A and B are shown apart, each in its own frame.
Chain A
Amino acid sequence: MIEVQNLSKSFGKLKAVQNVSFSAANGQITGLLGPNGAGKSTTLRMLYTLLKPDSGLARIEGFDIAQSPLDVQNHIGVLSDAQGIYERLTTRENIRYFGQLHGMSEQELEKRMDELIIMLEMQSIADRRTKGFSTGERLKVAIARALVHNPGNILLDEPTNGLDVKSTRAMRQFVRNLRDDGKCVILTSHIMQEVSALCDQIIIISNGISTAQGTPDELLQKTGKDNLEDAFIELIGTDEGLA
């Protein structure tokens, strides 16, 4: 469960995020849709505590992101824009590192790793050093280590960026499975089709401001359009930076 109220963040004169409010429920996929540079990643970075909001507040599982960042970090799994993994470590070693930092016991950790390796179909690369992995394989490692502590809230920044069609489909299915497990999933995207296909709730962000939010049906009603893509363009005011 994630609640965001009037979150704002500026970098110098640039107002990256202004008064963004929404709430994301468990068992739902919430999509932040907006063109590149709209403030989606900045919003997410505030939620995963690496940026401090200038004003407003956000709670994850009731923990304030500014007051108790460590508690927040314990309850989130993050696939950030930066997905670098340690190339000289194996897949398992990469995942184990993050699991250990989450304070998992060795038994618990090994069991969870086996689960994730099966879930993400990484059996063949589990004990290989990650140098030379394909984009899809790297992404799997990054997801596995983000979810190793089985967090209730999952933040995904452009999760299908750079993936081929097959991997994109697999990724979407994986996200749906997380929702079906009752997780609270937030993802950002500038791809209208992706948001339409995946999200139960959509938040439109443009120039740092959230211009609309609701279920796909609510957005259609609000704009009077008969398809979501037209509705998005109407709400954002332009189709620039979208795909």
Chain B
Amino acid sequence: MKQVWIIFQTEVLDNIRDTRSWVIGIFFSALFGPIMLGGLLVMIGSSFRKDLDKTLTLPVQNPEYAPALIQFLESHNVITVPAPADPETAVKLGDVNVVLIIPEKFSEEFSSSKPATVQLVLDSSRQSAAVNILRIETLLEGYNTYLGKLRLVVRGVSPEVMDVIAMDKVDVATPQTRAMILLSMLPYFIIFGVFNSSSSIIIDSTAGERERKSLEPLLINPAPRRAFVFGKILSSFPFSIANLALTLIGFGLVFNVMPLEKYLGMQFGLNGMTLIWIFLICLPVIFLASAIQIVVASFTRTPKEAGTYLPFIALIPSLPGLALAFFPVKSNLWLMLIPTFGQQLLVNQMLRLEPISVWNVIASVLTTILVAAAFTWLAILLYNREQIMFRGD
């Protein structure tokens, strides 16, 4: 065990002196997530609010055929402007979001109580126009219902006959859960960062050491091979732990210091205590990341080859986290048995302020450690083979 400590110490010293690599490695991957997520939240939040509050400017063709409708729209915070000469092209090019066209027959159809046609020219694939289109559609439907009911009253029928269903919406989304879709990406960034930060250290101390021809002299020293494997795995820990801590501090800053409330109209449940819990739950992932990577790096011939594999290795365990943003999954004990996925579910629950089952935490931590131990054992087997030295030859 003393030898493990010696190897650990020397590897850490060697890697710390490679300042450029670890500074870029740790800071880039640690701050990438918080900056990216924070930026997305601000962008989406501000565009969403801007569209809701703004008076809607609506280009209308032939407003003179439907003065009552125009009056209705204007009373609902819509400013009508003359439509462009070619509405379809203008919408296609994105010059305007939506154009209302009132055909000449409108007043004729309207007066004879036939359905009077109006045309909306829109591009449903343009996300930025969605809020405006929805507002116009809602207003037109409102006008439709309003006038329809008036006509029934004129004919002596109660307007209630039209209301087959009375819809009463109860929205259970708290302010936090509305931003959850975005926040669900957070575990993805955490796991990805952990895997990424250890990969350069592991590559350097395995495939790199072989390429620099220092592995053979090292292994002639009187220590069991497992001591080298343990020492090398452990030597990546300080760097990944620093990365994980920085990532979480970064998210903490984004969600607590940045004025997200101003942009999104909501606050997030990401306080110091939650961050510490997330940190603890993700610690076993650090072990797993290093153990998987040392196995892969032992197979590869050169650091360059290892460098092409390891980013993919980092992607695989973090992808479920990204999927969580779009396909919400309910946590249960079985899912906790999948290393990295369990952690991502738990982090998600914490962010949602849901109650956490102690058993889920224990299951997730234990299986991750067990799987990491299995990979470590595999690495020791690989290091006991002769090929470990001469793969590059």
- When the two chains form the complex, which single residue of B2, B6, B216, B219 contacts A97, counting CB atoms closer than 8 Å? B6
A-B contact count (CB 8 A): 73
Q: Mark B210-231, 1 if CB is under 8 A from A, else 0.
A: 0011111101111110000000
Provide a sorted-by-A list of 24 A–B residue pairs whose CB atoms are within 8 angstroms: A50-B386, A50-B389, A51-B386, A70-B222, A71-B222, A73-B220, A73-B221, A78-B217, A82-B215, A83-B213, A83-B217, A84-B213, A89-B13, A89-B17, A93-B13, A98-B217, A98-B221, A101-B6, A101-B222, A101-B223, A102-B222, A103-B222, A145-B217, A146-B217
Residues of B219-262 contacting chain A, CB below 8 A: 219-224
In the bound complex, CA of A87 to CA of B212 (Å):
9
- Measured CA separation A78–B221 after assembly (Å): 9
B104 within 8 A of A: no
A51-B386, A89-B10, A97-B6 in contact; A74/B217 too (CB < 8 A)?
A: no
- Interface check A26, CB cutoff 8 A: no
The verdict on A100 contacting chain B, using a C-beta distance below 8 Å, is: yes
Give the residue name and chain of the A residue nearest to B227 (CB): A101
Tell whether A25 is near chain B: CB-to-CB under 8 Å. no
CB distance from A90 to the nearest CB of B (A): 10
A84 touches B217 (CB 8 A): yes
Known: A73-B222, A89-B14. A82 touches B214 (CB 8 A): yes
Seen from chain B, the residues whose Cβ lies within 8 Å of a Cβ on chain A are 2-3, 6-7, 10, 13-14, 17-18, 209, 212-217, 219-224, 386, 389
Given the contacts A84-B213, A86-B214, A97-B6, A50 and B14 also touching, CB distance less than 8 Å: no
Which are the 9 A-B pairs with shortest beta-carbon distances?
A84-B214, A84-B213, A82-B213, A73-B222, A82-B216, A101-B221, A88-B17, A84-B212, A100-B6
Bound-state CA distance A146–B7 (Å) is 17
Count of A interface residues, CB-CB < 8 Å: 32
Q: Is the CB of B221 within 8 A of A48?
A: no
A142 to B222, Cβ gap below 8 A? Answer: no
- The residues of A that contact B220 with a CB separation of less than 8 Å are 48-50, 73, 76, 78, 80
Residues of A participating in the B interface, judged by any CB pair closer than 8 Å = 48-52, 70-71, 73-74, 76, 78, 80-89, 93, 97-98, 100-103, 129, 142, 145-146
Q: Flag if A50 contacts B219 (CB, 8 Å).
A: yes
Q: In whole angstroms, what is the CA distance A78 to B219 when docked?
A: 11
Output the least CB separation between A131 and chain B (Å). Answer: 10
A50-B389, A88-B14 as given contacts; A142 in contact with B223, CB under 8 Å: no
A102 to B10 Cα, complex, angstroms: 14
User: How far does the alpha carbon of A138 sit from the alpha carbon of B209 in the complex, in Å?
Assistant: 16
User: What is the CA–CA distance of A71 and B17 in the complex, to the nearest angstrom?
Assistant: 34
Closest Cβ of chain A: how far from B222's Cβ, in Å? 4
**Pick the contact of B386 from A52, A83, A93, A97 — CB < 8 Å?**
A52
A80 to chain B: closest residue by CB: B216
For A85, give its contact among B214, B219, B389 (CB under 8 Å). Answer: B214
Q: Chain B contacts of A85 at CB under 8 A?
A: 214
Complex: how many Å from CA A145 to CA B221? Answer: 10
Least CB distance from A239 to B in Å reads 26
Given the known interface contacts A50-B386, A88-B17, A88-B18, the answer about A80 and B6 at a Cβ–Cβ threshold of 8 Å is no
A87 and B2 CA atoms in complex are apart in Å by 24
Contacts of A50 in B (CB 8 A): 216, 219-220, 386, 389
Knowing A70-B222, A97-B6 touch, does A80 contact B18 (C-beta < 8 A)?
no
The answer for the CA separation of A64 and B328 in the assembled complex, in Å, is 61
CB contacts (< 8 Å) of B215 on chain A: these are: 82, 84
- A146–B224 Cα gap in the complex (Å)? 18
Q: Which A residues are CB-close (under 8 A) to B389?
A: 50, 82
Contacts A50-B220, A50-B386, A88-B14 given: A101-B214 contact, CB under 8 Å?
no
Tell me the bound Cα distance from A73 to B212 in angstroms.
22
B387 to chain A minimum Cβ distance, whole angstroms, is: 10
Contact B217 A82 (CB under 8 A): yes
A142→B218 CA distance, assembly (Å): 11
B389 nearest CB neighbor, chain A only: A50
Q: Which residue on B lies nearest to A146, using beta carbons?
A: B217
Shortest CB distance B261–A (Å): 47
List, in ascending order, chain B residues with CB within 8 A of A80's CB. 216-217, 220
Q: Give the distance in Å from the alpha carbon of A12 to the alpha carbon of B212 in the complex.
A: 26
Measured CB to CB, the closest approach of chain B to A89, in angstroms, equals 6
- The residue in chain B whose Cβ has the minimal distance to the Cβ of A100 is B6
Q: Considering the chains assembled together, what is the distance between the CA atoms of A50 and B386 in angstroms?
A: 6
Which residues in A have their C-beta under 8 angstroms from that of B213? Answer: 82-84
Neighbour of B224 across the interface among A70, A71, A97, A103, CB < 8 A: A70
Could you tell me the distance between the alpha carbons of A145 and B389 in the complex, rounded to whole angstroms?
A: 19
Contacts A78-B217, A82-B389, A86-B10 aside, 10 further interface pairs with beta carbons under 8 A come to A50-B219, A51-B386, A81-B216, A82-B214, A83-B213, A85-B214, A86-B214, A98-B221, A102-B221, A145-B217
Known interface pairs A51-B386, A74-B222; A86-B14 also in contact (CB < 8 Å): yes
